Amino acid sequence: MIEESVLLESRTLRSGVLERTDVLDRVKALSLLPDGLHVTTAMVAAYFEVAETVVNNLLSRHRHELQSNGMRVLRDSELRNFKKLNLSSYGRPQPRSALAIWSRRAVLNVAMLLRDSEVARQVRVYLLDMEHLARTQPVDNPGLTEPVPLDVRIDQRITHILGRTVVPMFNALIASSGEHRRELIELREDIENVERRMCRHHERLATPEGENPAENVGSTLKAMTWQAFEQHVAGLLRRDGCTDVVVRQTRSDRGIDITGLTADGRTVAVRCRNRSGRRTVPHADLQKFAGAARVLHRVDLALFVATCGFSHESRAIADLTGVVTVDREEVEAWTAGVRLKALR
Protein backbone atom coordinates (compact mmCIF):
# COMPACT_ATOMS: atom_id res chain seq x y z
CA MET A 1 0.00 0.00 0.00
CA ILE A 2 1.24 3.54 -0.80
CA GLU A 3 2.42 5.58 2.20
CA GLU A 4 0.39 8.76 2.75
CA SER A 5 3.57 10.86 2.69
CA VAL A 6 4.09 9.95 -0.98
CA LEU A 7 1.06 12.07 -1.92
CA LEU A 8 2.98 15.11 -0.72
CA GLU A 9 5.62 14.53 -3.37
CA SER A 10 3.81 13.11 -6.41
CA ARG A 11 1.36 15.23 -8.37
CA THR A 12 0.57 12.21 -10.56
CA LEU A 13 -0.61 10.22 -7.56
CA ARG A 14 -2.62 13.18 -6.30
CA SER A 15 -4.36 13.51 -9.65
CA GLY A 16 -5.38 9.86 -9.52
CA VAL A 17 -7.49 10.21 -6.36
CA LEU A 18 -8.95 13.71 -6.67
CA GLU A 19 -12.41 12.33 -7.53
CA ARG A 20 -12.87 11.03 -3.97
CA THR A 21 -13.97 14.35 -2.47
CA ASP A 22 -16.46 12.51 -0.21
CA VAL A 23 -13.45 11.63 1.97
CA LEU A 24 -13.45 15.21 3.27
CA ASP A 25 -16.82 14.78 4.98
CA ARG A 26 -15.86 11.37 6.33
CA VAL A 27 -12.93 12.89 8.23
CA LYS A 28 -14.58 16.18 9.24
CA ALA A 29 -17.63 18.18 8.15
CA LEU A 30 -16.70 20.75 5.50
CA SER A 31 -18.94 23.84 5.65
CA LEU A 32 -19.84 25.30 2.26
CA LEU A 33 -21.01 28.70 1.11
CA PRO A 34 -24.71 29.08 0.23
CA ASP A 35 -24.02 28.08 -3.38
CA GLY A 36 -23.19 24.58 -2.07
CA LEU A 37 -20.08 24.43 -4.26
CA HIS A 38 -17.35 26.62 -2.81
CA VAL A 39 -15.51 27.71 0.32
CA THR A 40 -13.31 30.71 1.04
CA THR A 41 -9.64 30.59 2.04
CA ALA A 42 -10.64 31.27 5.64
CA MET A 43 -13.00 28.28 5.55
CA VAL A 44 -10.25 26.07 4.11
CA ALA A 45 -7.95 27.14 6.94
CA ALA A 46 -10.65 26.44 9.52
CA TYR A 47 -11.25 22.96 8.11
CA PHE A 48 -7.57 22.02 8.34
CA GLU A 49 -7.14 23.88 11.66
CA VAL A 50 -4.27 26.02 10.41
CA ALA A 51 -3.71 29.76 10.00
CA GLU A 52 -5.04 31.40 6.84
CA THR A 53 -1.48 32.47 5.99
CA VAL A 54 -0.52 28.78 5.77
CA VAL A 55 -3.12 28.20 3.07
CA ASN A 56 -2.06 31.37 1.22
CA ASN A 57 1.58 30.25 1.29
CA LEU A 58 0.54 26.87 -0.08
CA LEU A 59 -1.41 28.62 -2.83
CA SER A 60 1.62 30.68 -3.86
CA ARG A 61 3.72 27.51 -4.23
CA HIS A 62 1.14 25.34 -6.01
CA ARG A 63 -1.11 27.88 -7.74
CA HIS A 64 -1.23 26.16 -11.13
CA GLU A 65 -2.16 22.76 -9.68
CA LEU A 66 -4.80 24.19 -7.37
CA GLN A 67 -6.33 26.32 -10.12
CA SER A 68 -6.59 23.27 -12.37
CA ASN A 69 -8.66 21.62 -9.64
CA GLY A 70 -11.17 24.40 -8.99
CA MET A 71 -9.49 27.22 -7.07
CA ARG A 72 -10.48 30.59 -8.58
CA VAL A 73 -9.71 34.20 -7.80
CA LEU A 74 -12.70 36.52 -8.30
CA ARG A 75 -12.38 40.20 -9.13
CA ASP A 76 -14.49 43.19 -10.21
CA SER A 77 -18.10 42.44 -11.22
CA GLU A 78 -17.71 38.69 -10.74
CA LEU A 79 -16.58 39.30 -7.17
CA ARG A 80 -19.46 41.72 -6.47
CA ASN A 81 -22.06 39.27 -7.76
CA PHE A 82 -20.54 36.39 -5.79
CA LYS A 83 -20.52 38.43 -2.57
CA LYS A 84 -24.14 39.45 -3.08
CA LEU A 85 -25.31 35.87 -3.58
CA ASN A 86 -23.09 34.04 -1.10
CA LEU A 87 -21.61 36.31 1.54
CA SER A 88 -24.53 38.49 2.60
CA SER A 89 -25.55 36.00 5.30
CA TYR A 90 -22.07 36.26 6.84
CA GLY A 91 -22.57 39.88 7.82
CA ARG A 92 -21.22 42.83 5.92
CA PRO A 93 -18.32 41.45 3.84
CA GLN A 94 -15.01 43.26 4.18
CA PRO A 95 -14.09 45.36 1.14
CA ARG A 96 -11.44 43.68 -0.96
CA SER A 97 -10.28 43.73 -4.57
CA ALA A 98 -10.04 39.93 -4.95
CA LEU A 99 -11.36 36.79 -3.30
CA ALA A 100 -10.11 33.21 -3.65
CA ILE A 101 -12.82 30.54 -3.70
CA TRP A 102 -12.17 26.82 -3.56
CA SER A 103 -14.11 23.83 -4.88
CA ARG A 104 -14.24 20.61 -2.87
CA ARG A 105 -11.78 19.09 -5.33
CA ALA A 106 -9.34 21.93 -4.64
CA VAL A 107 -9.79 21.45 -0.87
CA LEU A 108 -8.93 17.76 -1.28
CA ASN A 109 -5.90 18.88 -3.28
CA VAL A 110 -4.85 21.01 -0.28
CA ALA A 111 -5.14 17.96 1.98
CA MET A 112 -2.55 16.21 -0.18
CA LEU A 113 -0.14 19.16 -0.03
CA LEU A 114 -0.47 20.41 3.53
CA ARG A 115 2.22 18.91 5.77
CA ASP A 116 1.58 20.53 9.15
CA SER A 117 -2.06 19.63 9.68
CA GLU A 118 -3.37 16.58 11.51
CA VAL A 119 -6.69 16.87 9.68
CA ALA A 120 -4.88 16.83 6.31
CA ARG A 121 -2.89 13.79 7.41
CA GLN A 122 -6.09 11.97 8.40
CA VAL A 123 -7.62 12.79 4.99
CA ARG A 124 -4.56 11.34 3.21
CA VAL A 125 -4.62 8.16 5.29
CA TYR A 126 -8.36 7.67 4.82
CA LEU A 127 -8.07 8.43 1.11
CA LEU A 128 -5.36 5.83 0.54
CA ASP A 129 -7.21 3.25 2.64
CA MET A 130 -10.25 3.63 0.35
CA GLU A 131 -8.08 3.52 -2.77
CA HIS A 132 -6.34 0.38 -1.53
CA LEU A 133 -9.68 -1.36 -0.91
CA ALA A 134 -10.95 -0.37 -4.35
CA ARG A 135 -7.85 -1.71 -6.07
CA THR A 136 -7.73 -4.99 -4.16
CA GLN A 137 -11.40 -5.93 -4.66
CA PRO A 138 -11.45 -8.54 -7.48
CA VAL A 139 -14.89 -7.48 -8.78
CA ASP A 140 -16.98 -4.39 -8.11
CA ASN A 141 -20.14 -6.50 -7.96
CA PRO A 142 -21.19 -7.96 -4.62
CA GLY A 143 -23.57 -10.37 -6.35
CA LEU A 144 -20.72 -12.28 -8.03
CA THR A 145 -18.19 -14.41 -6.18
CA GLU A 146 -16.22 -15.41 -9.26
CA PRO A 147 -14.06 -13.13 -11.46
CA VAL A 148 -15.93 -11.38 -14.25
CA PRO A 149 -15.37 -13.25 -17.56
CA LEU A 150 -13.10 -11.58 -20.09
CA ASP A 151 -15.88 -11.05 -22.65
CA VAL A 152 -18.04 -9.29 -20.03
CA ARG A 153 -15.14 -7.02 -19.03
CA ILE A 154 -14.59 -6.18 -22.71
CA ASP A 155 -18.31 -5.37 -23.14
CA GLN A 156 -18.20 -3.10 -20.08
CA ARG A 157 -15.12 -1.34 -21.43
CA ILE A 158 -16.83 -0.81 -24.80
CA THR A 159 -19.87 0.68 -23.06
CA HIS A 160 -17.62 3.01 -21.07
CA ILE A 161 -15.84 4.18 -24.24
CA LEU A 162 -19.12 4.76 -26.06
CA GLY A 163 -20.56 6.87 -23.25
CA ARG A 164 -17.46 8.81 -22.23
CA THR A 165 -15.54 9.22 -25.49
CA VAL A 166 -17.43 8.48 -28.72
CA VAL A 167 -20.72 10.25 -27.89
CA PRO A 168 -19.00 13.44 -26.61
CA MET A 169 -16.86 13.42 -29.76
CA PHE A 170 -20.00 13.36 -31.90
CA ASN A 171 -21.47 16.19 -29.81
CA ALA A 172 -18.43 18.32 -30.61
CA LEU A 173 -18.60 17.45 -34.31
CA ILE A 174 -22.30 18.25 -34.49
CA ALA A 175 -21.75 21.62 -32.78
CA SER A 176 -19.12 22.63 -35.36
CA SER A 177 -20.58 20.99 -38.45
CA GLY A 178 -22.99 22.48 -40.93
CA GLU A 179 -23.14 20.38 -44.07
CA HIS A 180 -23.18 16.94 -42.42
CA ARG A 181 -25.04 17.83 -39.25
CA ARG A 182 -28.06 15.59 -39.92
CA GLU A 183 -25.88 12.56 -40.75
CA LEU A 184 -23.82 13.06 -37.59
CA ILE A 185 -26.95 13.29 -35.43
CA GLU A 186 -28.23 10.02 -36.91
CA LEU A 187 -24.89 8.31 -36.26
CA ARG A 188 -24.87 9.59 -32.68
CA GLU A 189 -28.38 8.18 -32.13
CA ASP A 190 -27.24 4.79 -33.47
CA ILE A 191 -24.31 4.77 -31.04
CA GLU A 192 -26.55 5.76 -28.12
CA ASN A 193 -28.90 2.90 -29.02
CA VAL A 194 -25.96 0.47 -28.95
CA GLU A 195 -24.90 1.86 -25.56
CA ARG A 196 -28.43 1.41 -24.17
CA ARG A 197 -28.66 -2.18 -25.46
CA MET A 198 -25.31 -3.08 -23.91
CA CYS A 199 -26.30 -1.56 -20.58
CA ARG A 200 -29.52 -3.59 -20.56
CA HIS A 201 -27.50 -6.68 -21.48
CA HIS A 202 -25.21 -6.13 -18.49
CA GLU A 203 -28.26 -5.65 -16.28
CA ARG A 204 -29.73 -8.97 -17.44
CA LEU A 205 -26.44 -10.75 -16.74
CA ALA A 206 -26.41 -9.36 -13.19
CA THR A 207 -30.03 -10.34 -12.51
CA PRO A 208 -30.86 -13.81 -11.11
CA GLU A 209 -32.55 -16.17 -13.58
CA GLY A 210 -36.32 -15.75 -13.75
CA GLU A 211 -36.36 -12.11 -12.66
CA ASN A 212 -37.13 -9.13 -14.89
CA PRO A 213 -34.27 -6.57 -14.79
CA ALA A 214 -36.60 -3.61 -15.40
CA GLU A 215 -38.97 -4.72 -12.65
CA ASN A 216 -35.98 -5.30 -10.35
CA VAL A 217 -34.70 -1.75 -10.88
CA GLY A 218 -38.19 -0.28 -10.48
CA SER A 219 -38.87 -2.12 -7.24
CA THR A 220 -35.49 -1.12 -5.85
CA LEU A 221 -36.18 2.55 -6.54
CA LYS A 222 -39.69 2.30 -5.13
CA ALA A 223 -38.37 0.87 -1.86
CA MET A 224 -35.96 3.78 -1.32
CA THR A 225 -36.60 6.51 1.24
CA TRP A 226 -36.18 10.07 -0.01
CA GLN A 227 -32.77 10.19 1.69
CA ALA A 228 -31.67 6.96 0.01
CA PHE A 229 -32.95 8.16 -3.36
CA GLU A 230 -30.92 11.37 -3.10
CA GLN A 231 -27.80 9.35 -2.28
CA HIS A 232 -28.59 7.06 -5.22
CA VAL A 233 -28.86 9.98 -7.65
CA ALA A 234 -25.63 11.46 -6.25
CA GLY A 235 -23.92 8.15 -6.95
CA LEU A 236 -25.19 8.19 -10.54
CA LEU A 237 -23.84 11.72 -10.99
CA ARG A 238 -20.41 10.65 -9.73
CA ARG A 239 -20.50 7.58 -11.98
CA ASP A 240 -21.14 9.84 -14.99
CA GLY A 241 -18.11 12.00 -14.25
CA CYS A 242 -19.50 14.73 -11.99
CA THR A 243 -17.28 16.10 -9.24
CA ASP A 244 -17.84 18.00 -5.98
CA VAL A 245 -21.20 16.24 -5.63
CA VAL A 246 -22.87 17.32 -2.37
CA VAL A 247 -26.11 15.86 -1.00
CA ARG A 248 -27.74 18.47 1.21
CA GLN A 249 -30.19 16.09 2.94
CA THR A 250 -32.55 18.90 3.90
CA ARG A 251 -36.07 19.96 2.98
CA SER A 252 -35.51 23.70 3.52
CA ASP A 253 -33.14 24.71 0.71
CA ARG A 254 -35.58 26.05 -1.88
CA GLY A 255 -35.92 22.68 -3.58
CA ILE A 256 -32.24 21.98 -4.34
CA ASP A 257 -31.17 18.58 -3.01
CA ILE A 258 -27.81 18.00 -4.74
CA THR A 259 -25.14 20.28 -6.19
CA GLY A 260 -21.99 19.53 -8.14
CA LEU A 261 -19.96 20.08 -11.28
CA THR A 262 -20.26 18.14 -14.54
CA ALA A 263 -17.21 16.55 -16.14
CA ASP A 264 -16.86 19.57 -18.44
CA GLY A 265 -17.06 22.08 -15.57
CA ARG A 266 -20.71 23.16 -15.65
CA THR A 267 -22.45 23.83 -12.33
CA VAL A 268 -25.38 21.51 -11.68
CA ALA A 269 -28.28 21.56 -9.23
CA VAL A 270 -30.62 18.60 -8.75
CA ARG A 271 -34.06 18.21 -7.23
CA CYS A 272 -35.04 14.63 -6.33
CA ARG A 273 -38.64 13.48 -5.95
CA ASN A 274 -39.37 9.85 -5.04
CA ARG A 275 -43.09 9.41 -5.70
CA SER A 276 -44.69 5.99 -6.10
CA GLY A 277 -47.83 5.06 -7.99
CA ARG A 278 -49.24 7.16 -10.83
CA ARG A 279 -48.79 10.54 -9.21
CA THR A 280 -47.04 13.21 -11.24
CA VAL A 281 -44.77 16.06 -10.20
CA PRO A 282 -46.95 19.15 -9.64
CA HIS A 283 -46.12 22.38 -11.43
CA ALA A 284 -45.57 24.20 -8.12
CA ASP A 285 -42.53 21.99 -7.42
CA LEU A 286 -41.10 22.85 -10.84
CA GLN A 287 -41.64 26.57 -10.28
CA LYS A 288 -39.92 26.50 -6.89
CA PHE A 289 -36.94 24.53 -8.16
CA ALA A 290 -36.58 26.59 -11.34
CA GLY A 291 -36.53 29.79 -9.29
CA ALA A 292 -33.85 28.46 -6.95
CA ALA A 293 -31.66 26.92 -9.65
CA ARG A 294 -32.00 29.54 -12.37
CA VAL A 295 -32.58 32.82 -10.53
CA LEU A 296 -30.92 32.47 -7.12
CA HIS A 297 -28.01 30.17 -7.89
CA ARG A 298 -27.73 30.67 -11.68
CA VAL A 299 -26.52 27.12 -12.30
CA ASP A 300 -25.64 25.92 -15.79
CA LEU A 301 -27.64 22.68 -15.57
CA ALA A 302 -30.82 22.14 -13.53
CA LEU A 303 -32.10 18.55 -13.24
CA PHE A 304 -35.44 17.50 -11.74
CA VAL A 305 -35.23 13.74 -11.17
CA ALA A 306 -38.42 11.87 -10.24
CA THR A 307 -39.62 8.27 -9.96
CA CYS A 308 -42.89 9.23 -11.61
CA GLY A 309 -44.06 11.33 -14.56
CA PHE A 310 -44.48 15.08 -14.99
CA SER A 311 -47.76 16.88 -15.57
CA HIS A 312 -48.27 18.92 -18.74
CA GLU A 313 -48.01 22.11 -16.71
CA SER A 314 -44.75 20.91 -15.15
CA ARG A 315 -43.21 20.09 -18.52
CA ALA A 316 -44.28 23.47 -19.89
CA ILE A 317 -42.55 25.24 -16.98
CA ALA A 318 -39.47 23.07 -17.46
CA ASP A 319 -39.31 23.95 -21.17
CA LEU A 320 -39.74 27.64 -20.39
CA THR A 321 -37.04 27.77 -17.69
CA GLY A 322 -34.57 25.29 -19.18
CA VAL A 323 -34.95 22.69 -16.41
CA VAL A 324 -34.17 19.14 -17.59
CA THR A 325 -36.80 16.65 -16.40
CA VAL A 326 -35.82 13.02 -15.75
CA ASP A 327 -38.90 10.79 -15.33
CA ARG A 328 -39.28 7.24 -14.01
CA GLU A 329 -38.34 5.49 -17.26
CA GLU A 330 -35.23 7.64 -17.66
CA VAL A 331 -34.23 7.12 -14.01
CA GLU A 332 -34.49 3.35 -14.45
CA ALA A 333 -32.36 3.45 -17.61
CA TRP A 334 -29.87 5.75 -15.86
CA THR A 335 -29.69 3.32 -12.96
CA ALA A 336 -29.15 0.41 -15.36
CA GLY A 337 -26.07 2.13 -16.78
CA VAL A 338 -27.22 4.49 -19.55
CA ARG A 339 -25.46 7.81 -19.15
CA LEU A 340 -27.83 10.76 -18.79
CA LYS A 341 -27.83 12.85 -21.99
CA ALA A 342 -27.72 16.15 -20.14
CA LEU A 343 -24.37 15.18 -18.59
CA ARG A 344 -22.68 14.35 -21.90
Per-residue pLDDT for 172 more than 70?
no
Residue whose C-alpha is closest to residue 267's, from 287, 237, 239, 288:
237
Per-residue pLDDT for 154 more than 90?
no
Per-residue pLDDT tens over the stretch 84-111: 766 654 444 555 678 889 999 999 999 9
Mean pLDDT across 14-27: 81
> What letter would DSSP give residue 5?
G
pLDDT at res. 142:
44
Mean pLDDT of the chain: 76
CB 234 within 8 A of CB 268: no
Question: 316: how many CB neighbours lie within 10 A of its CB?
Answer: 13
CB 331 within 8 A of CB 308: no
Amino acid code (one letter) for 113? L
3-state secondary structure of 308: coil
Residue whose C-alpha is closest to residue 59's, from 98, 3, 91:
98
pLDDT at res. 161:
52
283 vs 170, residue with greater confidence: 283
4 vs 99, residue with greater confidence: 99
Burial category of 172 from C-beta neighbours within 10 Å (exposed 0-12, middle 13-18, buried 19 and up): exposed
pLDDT at res. 102:
92
Per-residue pLDDT for 32 more than 60?
yes
240 vs 60, residue with greater confidence: 60
pLDDT at res. 81:
80
Residues 6 or more apart in contact with residue 128 via CB below 8 angstroms: 1, 2, 3, 4, 7, 17
Report the alpha-carbon distance of residue 198 to residue 252 in Å, rounded: 40
**DSSP E strands: which ranges in 41-187?**
72-75, 98-103
Per-residue pLDDT for 301 more than 80?
yes
Model's pTM, two decimal places?
0.44
CA 193-198-201 angle, 5° bins: 130
**DSSP E strands: which ranges in 54-170?**
72-75, 98-103
Question: Which stretch of 16-20, 71-75, 172-176 has the lowest confidence by average pLDDT?
Answer: 172-176
Longest C-alpha distance within the chain, in Å? Answer: 67
Per-residue pLDDT for 4 more than 50?
yes
Q: Give the alpha-carbon dihedral of 174, 157, 342, 298, to 10 degrees.
A: -110
pLDDT at res. 143:
44
pLDDT band at 192 (very low <50, low <70, confident <90, very high): low
pLDDT at res. 9:
77
Per-residue pLDDT for 332 more than 60?
yes
Question: 225: how many CB neighbours lie within 10 A of its CB?
Answer: 9
pLDDT at res. 61:
92
Question: What are the backbone angles phi and psi of residue 245, rounded to the nearest 5°?
Answer: -75, 125
pLDDT at res. 269:
93
